[in-house]
Amino acid sequence: MPAAPEGVLSVVERLAVLQFDPLEVPGARNHDLVLHARIRDYRRGWCEQWLYGPDRLLFEIYNKSLNMVPIEELPHYRLTWARYGAYYGEGILREHADVAADILATIEARGPLTTAAFAHHSHSVDWWWAPTRASRAILEALFVSGRVGIARREGNRRYYDLIERLVPAEILARTETDELAAKHRLLSRYRSIGLSRPTAGNDVMIGTGLGPERTGHTLEMVEAGVLVPVRVEGHKQLLYAPAAERPALAAAEHAGPIADPRVTFLAALDPLMWDRGLVRQLFGFEYLWEVYVPEPKRR
């Protein structure tokens, strides 16, 4: 990809989503490393300008994990907002309605703020991994429910703003049916990985429907010409690739010796490595991501 900020948009267009992880190993975050492997002379600020600049064309939302997606495709991914909204609306956001109301009113009056602005809500609540301060948990609940979004980051500190101030009204007004949203999310996994299967593990396919539904949607996309079935020599399972990759598949099938061999370093969470079961089957490579595993338990 040529060395230019627009290269970020081209990469996201091809991969569908770009996974965010806050760790800087080595010296950069996951999405920066993914982009660095695909864009010549990539610079960190190129991605941030599309996420947080005046021309906001990328947006952070959960799709398998926290991912960056094209803001125009938000209607396909906001199914997450509805599900989390219903769950937390009956839970923490109702139980601590006074804190949620104070946070929303303060952000509306003062603009983008971090959890530090609400340190006075210091009581602890049970949250995802462990008990945490109420203000942090409630801001995260408001984020995954689509009430607020990330306006910018300073390091890994998030500045939240009201969603209607971050996303154009015409995009917020659009919705998709559950079926179309699930199918789009499933296609995003195929586009990201490049080659996968509907039976991939839940860590890969979470949020795309149950196994039979994924298989049905995969076959529908083959029928529609969006996906193509792929047989790998020596591998029994039928795999699927985006139809846009046909030229690359044809080139690989008839390729001779590589004229210009080179090495590309992949990020730990590069989408090429998401389907670890397939990586193991195709390449005999057992890949583990153990940075969040306590050191004594690491393999």
- Residue 288 belongs to some domain of the structure: no
Q: What value does the mean pLDDT take over residues 42-59?
A: 93
Q: Is 89 in the same domain as 156?
A: yes
Q: What is the pLDDT of residue 87?
A: 93
Residues 160 and 183 in one domain: no
Q: Is residue 61 part of a domain?
A: yes
Q: Is residue 293 in some structural domain?
A: no
Verify that 184 and 270 share a domain, yes or no.
yes
Query: Model confidence at 50, in pLDDT bands (50, 70, 90)?
Result: very high
Cα dihedral 18/136/207/187 (nearest 10): -20
Q: Which of 67, 58, 4 lies closest to 30, judged by CA?
A: 67
Residues 109 and 164 in one domain: yes
> Of the residues 18, 45, 71, which one is the last residue of a structural domain?
71
Instruction: Summarize pLDDT for 184-243 with one digit per residue, the tens.
Output: 999 999 999 999 999 998 889 988 988 899 999 999 999 999 999 999 988 889 999 999
Q: Which of 149, 172, 195 is the last residue of a domain?
A: 172
Specify whether 163 is located in the same domain as 89.
yes
Q: Please report the DSSP string for 46-115 in residue order.
A: HHHHHHHSSS--EEEEEESEEEEEEGGGHHHHTHHHHHHHHHHHTTHHHHTHHHHHHHHHHHHHH-SB-G
Q: Which of 193, 270, 276 is nearest to 31 (CA)?
A: 270
126 and 85, same domain (yes or no): yes
User: What's the rounded Cα separation, in Å, for the pair 185 and 241?
Assistant: 15
Least confident of 31-35, 159-163, 209-213: 209-213
Instruction: Verify that 279 and 182 share a domain, yes or no.
Output: yes
Range 262-273 average pLDDT:
88
291 assigned to some structural domain? no
| pLDDT over 90 at 149, yes or no | yes
**Is 101 domain-assigned?**
yes
One domain for residues 67 and 91: no
pLDDT attached to residue 209: 85
Q: Is residue 297 part of a domain?
A: no
Q: Considering the domain boundaries, does residue 88 fall inside one?
A: yes
The CATH number of the domain where 160 resides is what?
1.10.10
Residue 285's pLDDT is what?
Answer: 92
Give tens-digit pLDDT for 162-184. Answer: 999 999 999 999 989 989 999 99
Domain that holds residue 220: 178-283
What is residue 266's predicted lDDT score, i.e. its pLDDT? 87
Predicted pLDDT at 299: 87
Q: Do 182 and 277 fall within a single domain?
A: yes
Number of domains observed in the structure of the chain: 3
- Out of 6-10, 230-234, 247-251, the most confident range is 6-10
Closest CA to 14 of 35, 29, 30, 28: 35
- Residue 63 is which amino acid? N
CB atoms within 10 A of CB 194: 18
| pLDDT surpasses 90 at 127 | no
**Average of pLDDT values for 282-296?**
89
pTM for the predicted model, two decimal places: 0.89
Considering the domain architecture, whether residues 167 and 198 belong to the same structural domain is answered as no
Residue 258 has pLDDT above 80, yes or no: no
Would you state the pLDDT for residue 1? 67
Share of the chain above pLDDT 70, in %: 99
> In this structure, are 154 and 216 located in the same domain?
no
Percent of the chain at pLDDT exceeding 90: 68
Residue 298 lies in a domain: no
Q: For residues 110 and 168, state if they share a domain.
A: yes
